[in-house]
Structure 1
Amino acid sequence: MPLLSKAWLDRHVGMNYYISDCEGIGGRVKQSLEDFIVEEVLIDGQVVPTSLTQKPMPKIISKPGPWTWMIIEKRGIDAITLLLILSKRLGIDARDISFGGLKDALAITSQVVSVRGLSINNVPRELSKNIRVLEVFSMDRAFTTRDIWGNEFTVRVRGINEAGRDNITCIINQVMERGLPTYYGYQRFGLKRPNSHIIGKYIILGKFEEAINELLTHAYPTEPPRIREAREFIARTGNYAKALELIPRGYRYYPERAVLRHLSSNPRDFGNAIRKLPHELLTIYIEAYQSYIFNLALSERIGRNLPINMAVQGDMVVLLDERGLPTRHMIHVNEAMTNKVNELVKRSRAIPVAHLVGYSTKLLPGPQGDIELEVLRREGVDPSMFRVKSIPRLLIRGGYRPLFIRPSIFNISISGNDLTLVFRLPRGNYATVFLRELMKSGQPEVDFT
């Protein structure tokens, strides 16, 4: 039987099962920012380094054009905050800023960010005390997800248990044999406030008052006391003008302050209050709910003892390129081709996938399609709702995501009760999902922050 997680947060974000059944190593991560280093890996395999690892800068050839590519190192900054700071500091519309992928907030990270309409001579090296520009290049196009292979992680897990050394080998062997589930990790939903998917669900249901209440008034125990008190005040009084004084200024609480400013003058206008949030943030909320549905369906597949590292009849399988990344070539597996398809999977030339539900999703008959249909029915939603009619620009088309990956592990070392890991994951995957398998924490809201 699959091993069921006992952690409240795991169940809250849809990660109900582990793929390994070995005892966890325990421990905590992110005790300092230096414990969690994330470096972008470009599509050609070059690493975009942080200043900590002292790896060489990637060889990027400048080209004349309207775009500037910046290698940015940030410390403890989330993606939305980075976008807001860049927009304000550089005087650039947020729509003219692009990057290949979101990076962990509670970490030291490096990545390429591109900006349109900015000369390389006008790029400051210090964008804030926690954001540095390490290198700049003139380019003829934007930097996008297609330019990255994934990320390299250097992670320290502190305080592992006495059996940790033996358990590490057991867990890693099972993960490599069975495949690591491609769950969306904690940071997709929030660790201190794991509710982005809840807000997203309310938005696609058109329940804007409930979305606002979740954003403003739901106080989570890991938040600072001052913030919990402010949220409880809003829930108790509905005094939005006074609440605006209680919620701190700054990028971290920008969403709360944006809707509070509108509600201070228009107390019941929840729809337009939601529209005060940036389109990029609203999209993140909807995609977080999409990710939650994916997690639930993947958990259900594991719970039914269906393999994630092999295709079964009715599955969709995507062919992989020479780098091991998904292409656009899809196969709908029937009984006659199952064995041949699974030979491709074993050779890392194909991989089974599940839906990222969106307005264009068409569920197919078969075990995976049946699971996804059951999950949507339990949630009370259908794919058409991912086209939010009351916010016309807010529409999520949908797509596919592999069911499993295998981490590329470069180094494992133990010093005392601390474990250090260096590994790579393809783009779109989360180091915390791999660490979750290793640690099997009963309180990830504490052990991962």
Structure 2
Amino acid sequence: MRRPHPIDYYVGMTKYFLNLEACEGRVLRPKGFRVIELSEPSPGPSYVYLLLKEGIDTIHALREIRRRLGGKWYHLGLKDANGVTLQLLSSDVVSEGLQLRLRKGCLVLTPLGRGSINKARMWGNAFVIDLQCSKPHSLEGKVKVPGYFSYQRFGTARPVSHVVGKMILLERWEEAVEALLGEPTPWESEAARRVRLEYYSEGPRAYLRAPKFMDVERRVAFELLRGSSPKRALKKSGLTELFLHAYQSYLYNKRLSEFDDPCEGPEALPGPGAEGYEELLEEEGVTLELFKKFGLRAAPRRPCYETYVKSFARGDGRVTLIFKLPRGYYATSLLREIVRDPFAV
């Protein structure tokens, strides 16, 4: 059986749980990765919109919308850039909608009327996934999806969000900045690697030439150039909580990987009151007191979810999978079990 990719190990996903042979293929992104948010608006004074997008993630889509329409915009979940996704937004802004063609994608914003959105009325997401496999197989019926936090939580080409988070937790702010701005990986673009290497000789000035897609790094680097301390620069990014949660997710993945059956895994993230993490925390050199200091709680999480997968063989090695997952679960946690290549899911 194929061993997990080094990236999988790096983010704590050190095991495959399903007894499958790799399909030797890939997800046909972006058009073959379709996500429909399973939510409904509730009565309220605001306005609800339907966002259809491709080639842009939710955060950047909201920036584009705010830039043109102003106001505050709210969402229930972050949707992948490399796919076609449908989700609800809400705002106090009144608009007839918006259609944008972007450098690598597009978005369509359609007004639905008055109302509001909240997580209590979001069940999860439905997925329609097209695979191209040289060894096609039919995965159909009830499937246990492991509760791994998947690649999107950490960064696929450069999975370091959890490393930055650990350094923040330990209040080693300079090292957190080093992890974010330096440390090139062989999986990212040549332009990104070049900037990261130049950072070691030029410091944050190297990011004056950084490509626009490195927006988080640019934001932190520009704060440093304005004279901010590493701590202030990271806090100004507005992403310290995201980095801390990524580290919690990494620890959860490591703990889940210790089990043969994912459904027997941990039922909460590491934090005050969580059980079963003592040995792992000691190995990592962190304490629960640090989690408490940063307000990180032991949020409950089901270690696996049983879903029903419907499969359609379409000829020429193409297979379409249809399934649903609750909020907080990742389609790629299931797809990695089938494809067994982080760059093919």
TM-score, length-scaled by structure 2: 0.90
Distance 1:353 1:106, change over 3 A: same
- Aligned ranges 1:24-173 → 2 under 5 Å: 24-30=22-28, 32-42=29-39, 63=43, 65=45, 67-92=46-71, 96-115=72-91, 117-119=92-94, 122-126=95-99, 129=102, 130-139=106-115, 141=116, 143-158=117-132, 160-162=133-135, 164-165=136-137, 168-169=138-139
- Aligned ranges 1:46-445 → 2 under 5 Å: 63=43, 65=45, 67-92=46-71, 96-115=72-91, 117-119=92-94, 122-126=95-99, 129=102, 130-139=106-115, 141=116, 143-158=117-132, 160-162=133-135, 164-165=136-137, 168-169=138-139, 176=143, 179-238=144-203, 240-241=204-205, 243-249=206-212, 252-266=213-227, 269-278=229-238, 281-302=239-260, 307-309=261-263, 354-358=267-271, 361-363=272-274, 369-370=275-276, 372-387=277-292, 395-441=295-341, 444=342
Q: Which amino acid aligns with 1:40?
A: E
Task: Provide the rounded CA distance (Å) in 2 between the counterparts of 1:248 and 1:123.
Answer: 33
SS in 1 for 2:79: coil
Task: Provide the rounded CA distance (Å) in 1 between the counterparts of 2:325 and 2:296.
Answer: 25
Residue pair 1:185, 1:433 contacting (<8 A) in 2 also:
yes
| Aligned counterpart, 1:447 | 344
| Aligned counterpart, 2:13 | 15
Task: Provide the rounded CA distance (Å) in 2 between the counterparts of 1:246 and 1:388.
Answer: 37
Task: Provide the rounded CA distance (Å) in 1 between the counterparts of 2:50 and 2:198.
Answer: 42
Task: Provide the rounded CA distance (Å) in 2 between the counterparts of 1:397 and 1:90.
Answer: 36
SS in 2 for 1:191: coil
Q: Which amino acid aligns with 1:428?
A: G
Greater CA drift, 215-224 or 195-204: 215-224
Greater CA drift, 102-111 or 17-26: 17-26
Q: Which amino acid aligns with 1:5?
A: R
CA apart distance, 1:187: 1.1
Distance 1:398 1:189, change over 3 A: same
Task: Provide the rounded CA distance (Å) in 2 between the counterparts of 1:229 and 1:294.
Answer: 33
Residue pair 1:4, 1:18 contacting (<8 A) in 2 also:
no
Q: 4+ residue stretches of structure 1 with deviation over 4 A?
A: none
CA apart distance, 1:192: 1.6
Unaligned segments of structure 2, at least 5 residues: none
Q: Which amino acid aligns with 2:202?
A: T
Task: Provide the rounded CA distance (Å) in 1 between the counterparts of 2:34 and 2:44.
Answer: 32
Task: Provide the rounded CA distance (Å) in 2 between the counterparts of 1:4 and 1:401.
Answer: 28
Residue pair 2:311, 2:319 contacting (<8 A) in 1 also:
no
Residue pair 2:96, 2:111 contacting (<8 A) in 1 also:
no
Distance 1:215 1:123, change over 3 A: farther
Rg larger in structure: 1
Task: Provide the rounded CA distance (Å) in 1 between the counterparts of 2:170 and 2:37.
Answer: 36
Residue pair 1:83, 1:97 contacting (<8 A) in 2 also:
yes
Residue pair 1:4, 1:16 contacting (<8 A) in 2 also:
no
SS in 2 for 1:106: coil
Q: Which amino acid aligns with 1:309?
A: C
Q: Which amino acid aligns with 1:200?
A: G
Q: Which amino acid aligns with 1:296?
A: K
Distance 1:15 1:438, change over 3 A: same
Unaligned segments of structure 1, at least 5 residues: 44-59, 311-351, 364-368, 390-394
Identity %: 30
Once the two structures are superposed, residues 276-306 of structure 1 have per-residue CA deviations (whole angstroms, 9 ceiling, x without a partner) of 202xx2222111111111111111123xxxx
Q: Which amino acid aligns with 1:447?
A: A
Distance 1:86 1:210, change over 3 A: farther
Distance 1:114 1:291, change over 3 A: same
Once the two structures are superposed, residues 372-414 of structure 1 have per-residue CA deviations (whole angstroms, 9 ceiling, x without a partner) of 221222111223323556xxxxx33331100111122234324
CA apart distance, 1:428: 1.0
Q: Which amino acid aligns with 1:362?
A: G
Q: Which amino acid aligns with 2:68?
A: R
Task: Provide the rounded CA distance (Å) in 2 between the counterparts of 1:127 and 1:16.
Answer: 40
Task: Provide the rounded CA distance (Å) in 1 between the counterparts of 2:13 and 2:181.
Answer: 26
Q: Which amino acid aligns with 1:270?
A: P
CA apart distance, 1:133: 0.7
Task: Provide the rounded CA distance (Å) in 2 between the counterparts of 1:383 and 1:152.
Answer: 36
Task: Provide the rounded CA distance (Å) in 1 between the counterparts of 2:291 and 2:59.
Answer: 22
CA apart distance, 1:64: 5.4
Residue pair 2:47, 2:111 contacting (<8 A) in 1 also:
no
Tell me which of the two structures has the higher relative contact order, counting C-alpha pairs closer than 8 angstroms and 6 or more residues apart: 2
Once the two structures are superposed, residues 303-347 of structure 1 have per-residue CA deviations (whole angstroms, 9 ceiling, x without a partner) of xxxx4436xxxxxxxxxxxxxxxxxxxxxxxxxxxxxxxxxxxxx
Task: Provide the rounded CA distance (Å) in 2 between the counterparts of 1:69 and 1:354.
Answer: 34
Task: Provide the rounded CA distance (Å) in 2 between the counterparts of 1:284 and 1:125.
Answer: 29
SS in 1 for 2:324: strand
